[in-house]
Amino acid sequence: MNTEIKTWADGYGRWHAEAPDTRLGLARAIDAITTELSAREPWYFSDNRTFVEENIISLPCDTPGRVHFAEYAIEE
C-alpha cells in the first residue's frame, strides 16, 4: 500500500495533499499541510494545525486508493 503523502501549493496560497484512502489519511494530510505552512509562514497563524483542521476539505481524486485534500473550502 502506498502511504506516501504528496503535498503541493496551487499558486493561490492554498495547500493540497494527496493521501491514502485509509482511516489515517485525513490525519496524515493535516500533518503534511501543517508542516508545509509552518515551514513557510510560522508567524502567520498562531496555531497552524487548528487552522488546517478547521479548513480542510476532501476533493475528488483521479488516483485509485487515494484522497485529495485541500486546506480551504471552495467558494461557490
Q: What mean pLDDT comes out for the span 59-76?
A: 85
The three cell numbers of residue 23 are: 482511516
Tell me the pLDDT band of 5, cut-offs 50, 70 and 90: very high
Task: Give pTM, 2 decimals.
Answer: 0.83
Burial class (CB in 10 A: 0-12, 13-18, 19+), 34: buried
Query: Would you give the DSSP letter of residue 49?
Result: H
- pLDDT attached to residue 19: 96
Q: Tell me, what's the pLDDT at 50? A: 87
